[in-house]
């Protein structure tokens, strides 16, 4: 949700943002509804004041044994008019709120302008792309040959984009998670395991409703949704709270399974475990003061790069264009990891600064002193590790000539062996 003051005072900036995001949004209707709701607030306040004055006059007339019939008639009309205005106000407020909760975030000035990923900008690369003196395989063939992935039985039991991990791949998954949690604890992040289901109010506070209805699984006949990422549960953790500004930033590292319909991914990555309906992830989430959030964003992407450097996975950092980043974000970095079996870099990390967009929706504020006015916090989020996607990169980049997989050195103490 945007600051209403920005919407009223800088409408052309908002129009430019919508154009740059290539978003179809009825901004004129939003401005009209905003004016109408403010006019209605004034009108209803005036009628309430008039009704109160009339009530006092009726009381005085009765006390003086005067005829109050005409006053009662006027009172009845005022009450009826007020009821009608309040109903209209309720409808207008609801229509305005729907638009206010749907408009995207403002765009940071450094974000490249473009309609899609073709306008993304590469910022830097790290690591040498591995060279092989033998014919390499993708993770699907490697997994099936080593009997550590079973896609066929998963499809039989659950449908497409599900999987069974087996044997060494289960151990590799747990090794990645253990290493990631230790890494984040060393960086002084607070470790969290959140609820895997949250209610609609919490979900709508974290993301725009139109963006999650086709992506997130809903529990039938319950006001609960399975989280698509623990960002959803952590963003809403401090809903309706006033945080102690002296203790900010709050840095969380949250581990959870994630559930996504992947409804917009028809034809993409149909096989394997790169794009699936269920996966494990460790997410970074930060609540920061406005003046600190951009510095925290840079720290967050730097920390994440360090993580993949320790895993010895080559990657590149991308700055997403206005048309490619999510609507909640003001600026997003992606990390794309090299996948040798696909001969390509593929996205494994998304790192975003959402400014006060989520905190306004969730009413999360802070102040340094109890007698000060409150401000909305800024929220930032980033993948640390999406386990299944990172496993794909490890399998393909660390494969050996005899069809096995070398375990990255940093994971060997967790895994217990050097080879899968």
- What is the distance between the terminal CA atoms of the chain, rounded to a whole angstrom? 48
Residue 94: band (very low, low, confident or very high) from pLDDT cuts 50, 70, 90: very high
Lowest model confidence (mean pLDDT) among 79-93, 117-131, 264-278: 264-278
The residue-averaged pLDDT of 96-121 equals 96
Phi and psi at residue 364, to the nearest 5°: -110, 115
Q: Is the distance from CB of 235 to CB of 283 less than 8 angstroms?
A: no
Residue 264: band (very low, low, confident or very high) from pLDDT cuts 50, 70, 90: low
pLDDT at 116 over 90: yes
pLDDT at 97 over 80: yes
The span from the CA of 393 to the CA of 390, in Å, is: 5
The residue-averaged pLDDT of 228-247 equals 97
The residue-averaged pLDDT of 366-379 equals 96
pLDDT for 268? 62
Domains identified in the chain and CATH numbers: 26-100 (1.10.287.40), 117-415 (3.30.930.10)
- Mean of the per-residue pLDDT values for the chain? 95
Which of 43, 41, 27 lies closest to 93, judged by CA?
41
pLDDT for 263? 56
Compute the half-sphere exposure of residue 273: CA atoms within 13 Å on the CB side of its CA.
33
Please work out, in degrees rounded to the nearest 5, the angle formed at the alpha carbon of residue 234 by the alpha carbons of 230 and 239: 145
The residue-averaged pLDDT of 407-414 equals 98
pLDDT at 88 over 70: yes
The span from the CA of 405 to the CA of 69, in Å, is: 92
Percent of the chain with pLDDT over 90: 88
pTM of this prediction?
A: 0.92
| pLDDT tens-digit series, residues 136-145 | 999 999 999 9
pLDDT for 266? 54
Residue 417: band (very low, low, confident or very high) from pLDDT cuts 50, 70, 90: very high
| pLDDT tens-digit series, residues 167-190 | 999 999 999 999 999 999 999 999
Q: State the CB neighbour count (10 A cutoff) for residue 146.
A: 18
pLDDT for 177? 98
pLDDT for 189? 98
pLDDT at 330 over 80: yes
The residue-averaged pLDDT of 223-227 equals 96
The residue-averaged pLDDT of 40-47 equals 93
Positive or negative CA dihedral for 173, 177, 178, 183? positive
């Amino acid at each position: 949700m945007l600051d209403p003051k920005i919407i009223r005072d800088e409408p052309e900036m908002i129009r430019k943002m919508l154009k740059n995001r290539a978003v179809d949004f009825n901004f004129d209707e939003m401005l009209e509804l905003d004016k109408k709701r403010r006019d209605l607030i004034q009108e209803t306040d005036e009628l309430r004041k008039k009704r109160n004055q009339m009530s006092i006059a009726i009381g005085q007339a009765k006390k003086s044994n005067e005829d109050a019939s005409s006053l009662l008639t006027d009172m009845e009309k005022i009450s009826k008019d007020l009821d009608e205005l309040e109903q209209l106000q309720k409808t207008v407020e609801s229509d305005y709120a729907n638009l206010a909760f749907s408009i995207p975030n403002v765009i940071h000035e450094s974000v490249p302008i473009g309609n899609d990923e073709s306008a993304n900008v590469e910022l830097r690369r790290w690591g040498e792309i591995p060279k092989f003196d033998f014919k390499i395989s993708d993770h699907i063939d490697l997994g099936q040959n080593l009997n550590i992935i079973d896609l066929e039985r998963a499809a039989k039991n659950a449908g497409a984009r599900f999987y069974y991990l087996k044997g060494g791949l289960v151990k590799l998954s747990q090794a990645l998670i253990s290493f990631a949690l230790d890494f984040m604890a060393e960086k002084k992040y607070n470790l969290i395991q959140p609820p895997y289901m949250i209610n609609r109010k919490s979900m709508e506070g974290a993301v725009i409703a139109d963006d999650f209805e086709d992506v997130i699984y809903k529990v039938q006949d319950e006001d609960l949704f399975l989280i698509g990422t623990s960002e959803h549960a952590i963003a809403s953790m401090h809903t309706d709270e006033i945080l102690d500004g002296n203790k900010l930033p709050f840095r969380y590292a949250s581990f959870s399974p994630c559930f996504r319909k992947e409804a917009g991914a028809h034809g993409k990555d149909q096989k394997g475990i790169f794009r699936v309906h269920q996966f494990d992830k460790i997410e970074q989430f930060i609540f920061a003061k406005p003046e600190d959030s951009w510095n925290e964003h840079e720290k967050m992407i730097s920390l994440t790069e360090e993580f993949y450097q320790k895993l010895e996975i080559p990657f590149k950092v991308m700055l997403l264009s206005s048309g490619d980043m999510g609507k909640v974000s003001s600026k997003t970095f992606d990390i794309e990891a090299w996948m040798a079996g696909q001969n390509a870099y593929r996205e494994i990390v998304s790192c975003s600064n959402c400014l006060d967009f989520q905190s306004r929706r969730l009413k999360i504020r802070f102040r340094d002193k109890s007698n000060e006015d409150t401000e909305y916090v800024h929220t930032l989020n980033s993948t640390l590790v999406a386990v299944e996607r990172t496993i794909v990169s490890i399998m393909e980049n660390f494969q050996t000539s005899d069809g096995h997989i070398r375990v990255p050195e940093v994971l060997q103490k967790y895994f217990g062996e050097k080879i899968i």
